């Protein structure tokens, strides 16, 4: 069965470089796992890159959220099998967004939790203020240390600067918490790109999203195979 049978929707543009990074990493991951034998084995990937505002402040307005809902609905209408949102903060609204559409949305929060199952040390959620303050990636049985207000303000500015094409520096903040023994969750897709090549113990949420997308894709293919086999079986041996 061709991989193009699966149609993946990607809500991107938040920001655009993170979306491009996700796409490139997804292709590489499919290749590295031996899933791709020919070009027709790739899934169909529909990217809706929306020009929505960065979710870097303390509040998200209804008008801001509406752009994400409209973007998801457009993907849903295209008949995708599932949707990936290349943005961390928007997952705070996961339940509400899922109610707006039929296609299932991959839940990044659950996937990050899976990565943290065996975590024993301290954890720092390195993300935008709204993500951190609303505890998107805080789970029971884990010890957290947190960015202070000044550091959160620096993160917000860094995300905005990055989307303007600048190269902000945040490694001093990371090193401060690294010395405290923290495992750092890069809880913003822009931060995941900015700090990807730095030598810090981190969980890169873009990589988590890619891994989960590949797993869901393979599960969807198996579901289709089993459905086809079941239909074929009933055609050959009809029920009496």
Q: Which tens digit of pLDDT belongs to each residue from 24-59? A: 999 999 999 998 999 988 999 999 999 998 888 777
Three-state DSSP class for residue 102: coil
Mean pLDDT of 115-138: 92
Confidence category of residue 239, pLDDT binned at 50, 70, 90? low
- What pLDDT, on a 0 to 100 scale, did the predictor assign at position 232? 42
User: Considering the entire predicted model, what is its pTM?
Assistant: 0.88
Separation of alpha carbons 53 and 214, rounded Å: 28
Q: Is 104 in contact with 83 (CB distance < 8 Å)?
A: yes
pLDDT tens-digit readout, 214-232 = 998 887 654 544 444 434 4
- What pLDDT, on a 0 to 100 scale, did the predictor assign at position 4? 43
Residues of the chain with pLDDT > 90, as a percent, come to: 70
Domains and CATH numbers, the chain: 3-109 (3.40.50.1860), 111-204 (3.40.50.1860)
Separation of alpha carbons 86 and 190, rounded Å: 10
Q: Hey, what's the torsion of the CAs at 74, 77, 79, 83, to 10 degrees?
A: 40
- What pLDDT, on a 0 to 100 scale, did the predictor assign at position 80? 96
Separation of alpha carbons 125 and 93, rounded Å: 18
- 181 HSE (CA, 13 A, CB side): 6
Provide, for the chain, the percentages of residues in helix, strand and coil under a 3-state DSSP scheme, each rounded to the nearest 5: 50, 15, 35
Q: Is the pLDDT of residue 199 over 90?
A: no
Q: Is 12 in contact with 49 (CB distance < 8 Å)?
A: yes
Q: Is the pLDDT of residue 203 over 50?
A: yes
Spatial neighbors of 204 by CB under 8 A, at least 6 apart, are 186, 192, 196
- What pLDDT, on a 0 to 100 scale, did the predictor assign at position 217? 83
Mean pLDDT of 188-196: 92
- What pLDDT, on a 0 to 100 scale, did the predictor assign at position 31? 94
């Amino acid at each position: 069965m061709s991989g193009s049978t699966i149609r993946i929707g990607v809500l991107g543009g938040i920001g655009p470089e993170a979306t491009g990074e996700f796409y490139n990493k997804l292709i590489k991951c499919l290749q590295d796992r031996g899933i791709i034998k020919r070009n027709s084995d790739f899934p169909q990937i529909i990217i809706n890159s929306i020009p929505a505002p960065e979710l870097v402040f303390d509040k998200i307005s209804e008008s801001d959220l509406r752009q994400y809902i409209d973007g998801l609905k457009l993907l849903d209408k295209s008949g995708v099998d599932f949707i990936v949102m290349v943005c961390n903060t928007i997952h705070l609204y996961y339940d509400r967004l899922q109610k707006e559409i039929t296609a299932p949305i991959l839940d990044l929060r659950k996937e990050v939790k899976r990565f943290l199952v065996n975590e024993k040390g301290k954890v720092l959620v390195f993300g935008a203020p709204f993500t951190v303050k609303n505890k998107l990636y805080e789970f029971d049985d884990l010890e957290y240390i947190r960015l202070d207000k000044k550091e959160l303000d620096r993160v917000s500015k860094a995300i905005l600067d990055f989307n303007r094409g600048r190269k902000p520096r945040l490694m001093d903040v990371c090193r401060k918490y690294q010395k405290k023994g923290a495992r750092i969750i890069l809880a913003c897709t822009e931060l995941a790109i900015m700090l990807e090549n730095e030598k810090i113990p981190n969980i890169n949420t873009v990589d988590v999203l890619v891994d989960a997308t590949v797993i869901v894709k393979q599960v969807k293919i198996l579901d289709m195979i089993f459905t086809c086999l079941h239909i074929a079986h009933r055609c050959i041996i009809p029920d009496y």
